Structure 1
Amino acid sequence: MDLRGRVTGLMGRARTDLAELVVIPSVADSRQYPPEGCARAAQWVVEAFIEEGFRDAHLEETADGSQAVIGSRPCADPAAPTVLLYAHYDVQPPLDEDAWRTPPFELTEVDGRWYGRGAADCKGNIVMHLTALRALGDDVPVNLKLVVEGSEEQGTGGLEDFVPKHAELLQADTILVCDTGNASVGVPAATVSLRGMVNLVVSVDALSSEVHSGMFGGAAPDALAALVAMLATLRDATGDTTVTGLDHGQTWPGEPYPPEQFRTDAGLVDGAALLGSGTVSDMLWARPALTILGIDCPPVLGSAAAIAPHARARLNLRIPPGTEPDVAEKALTEHLLASAPWGVRVGVESEATGAPFLARTDGPAYRAMAAAMEEAFGTSMVHLGQGGSIPLCNVFAETYPNAEIVLMGVEEPQALIHAPNESVDPREIARLALAEALFMQGLASGRER
């Protein structure tokens, strides 16, 4: 079977599929977009997978009101391995539409890339699954299950609640979580580590009301200055996060992230320094990282000559595998309280937490995927970390402790997921569709390298 040739011949259809999906504004947040968009996308996915042999594909409502597409496709051998295919059809809002060079909800080709909201995250992965299945045709050698959720970007946990309550429905030997991506275009990767996170809001109260800075400044405590002093203790001069009680010296054992590539990917301005005492990979995937997401304080325009009585900041702490969220939350809270100057009143409110994830990579599925990726891309698969949290991975791991979880997908740094001008390189769809088809064949036959 010439799988590579079949995939190549299917790419026209893949583009048509992706165009049909991207045009649907399936933003899960109903405050910004009507729910009909998600309903249309869900139905499109159901019909597409029914056509590819998932005869029982249907919609299941989850606890957050979103609909998940569930289905199965048994093969001729009931004893063959079972593989669960995952993706999500909901997308981020387009944000500033004026910043888009092309219409966000219209698939547009520019310089060989396909632009549109969701083109990579994660509708491109839905199309990748479909292309792999079409390439195999009737010769799918493994038992398949499917789940495509509709609220991943909203983060409201509908599928996380659904999975343990319907464990038998989705049970599999291998779970392909297709919502990550490669190190760069043409460099295949499995994401083996995900950061967890702690979100806090810290508030500072120093005075009962604003007072004139000329009359009281110098003796009266300034809530904003106190907050700034507290936030300044969270990083040192090199940029290392310095939350007391957390391990700040771990190193990343997988693929390195070249500093110059990171500078380009992150869009550093000329002269800006990379932060931290470790490598880029250490700082991204092995160590805690504190980000100030927002500050409530008087804006520059319209500000008065007055001392701020109150100030707040929203903080995001990313934590590597090996650090529990409750430990990190306690450490950050205690650090903030201990660093408050001048006896100001400090409040810390927990907003959200998520556990980190570390995949097991020593099983037959990982070996089969490494072989498939190498054949499809012509180069060895590398192991990456990812800064974003995917809470569903921990739910899968807890619900199916014997399953191998492989994170992969069509996203890569140029895709600009969650930002204006999101795009996908169609070669990534083609190569990953080929890799997925080869993986199924290799897993079924026990071929490993």
Structure 2
Amino acid sequence: MKDKTFSFKGGIHPPYSKELTESISLTQALPPKIVYIPLQQHIGAPCDPIVKSGDKVKIGQKIGDSQAFVSVPIHSSVSGTVKNIIDFPTPTGSKVKTIVIESDDSYEICDTVKPMGDINNLTSKEIIEIIREAGITGMGGATFPTHVKLSPPPEKKIDTVILNGAECEPYLTSDHRLMVEHPQKVVFGLKAIMKAVNVNKGIIGIEDNKPDAIKNIKKIIANEPSIQDAVLKTKYPQGGEKRLIDAITGRKVPPGALPMDVGIVVNNVGTASAIADSIQKGMPLIERIVTVTGNGIVQPSNMIVKIGTPFKEVIEQCGGYSGVPGKVISGGPMMGFAQYTTEVPVIKGTSGILVINQFDAYSEIEQPCIKCARCVDVCPVGLLPIKIANYSQKSKWDEAEEYNALYCIECGSCSFICPAKRPLVQRIRLVKGEILAKKRSK
């Protein structure tokens, strides 16, 4: 019998281009000689270094930490010597204090890396502490510290955990391959999250363009009565957590509210896998799956890459550029960030490296708005994108805020669908930054 499929109102159907890598198995990238590990790879407070130049470090050793609750520690992805601590560019577009480590090629693992015991014998508090100490953040790109998500206030009663396996962003297939090749880690991580927040209902949401992932996950959860799968219609941005909650449960997260306000915690399947490694092996988050793809890459791949590896080296390991690159994007084409250099390092939120060749990367000329309202129809949040963007152009930040600019999830659906090729999401992103800066200054 065919599975029922779930979806949400709004959204778009861009060219997905996942065929470049969806059937390509995971491969381990060669470890770099030098890694550049930023002390802030997450939402929240940056870490302070707890090593200095000249120190010897091992794989999995903690090298940065913070006393702030909304923060996570940083660990070394190689064994070697700390060469420097400098300000260095990251894929987010900002310069961050970064620890530079030269590998000694010994691959020596820190003695703190050891299995954490049987999950059945771990308490909720112990699981959350393991996750925090492992430096785990949201692996879908948002990089929100996971232990914070799993520590809702007592008055927020959680009854369901949803794992996000939608991976709706075009080109990216890292989550897809994870679910195909390591579904048991995904399910183990989900069970750990469920125990951490004391619930007995878990759901794994997967878009229907990943039938092999659905099949493998179903096999693993066949004897898990508290866990089920939910097959989602392929539509962008199906993976947005509020859209995911709406599609699967019918619950509406109010504007400005969080999933915990409707009794739900959402995590990415990659986050669940990292949690499995932190409990089963004691290994902190020191590497991640990166989809390296696009028509500007000789050999598109899904690679397991050490945190701190420069984009340039990852691209070279995939055969280098195919033709003249026009744009290199961290992430996917809808929500990713174009890079001005490939010297930036892979960080915890780097789900993909997308290279588009010069011919396809040109910018179309913006035309006047024709009042078609397509941006309104596709907005998954129910905003008026053209109105907010127009206020942004005129530097009318207060008026834009009145139209709920801060609720925009920056999915890019409005810009994609606009026949006039207006850069709506870019203007909304600008006005959001101005509004937030104004609030901070107060």
Q: TM-score, normalised by structure 1?
A: 0.24
Relative contact order, CA 8 A, sep 6+: which one is greater?
1
Q: TM-score, normalised by structure 2?
A: 0.24
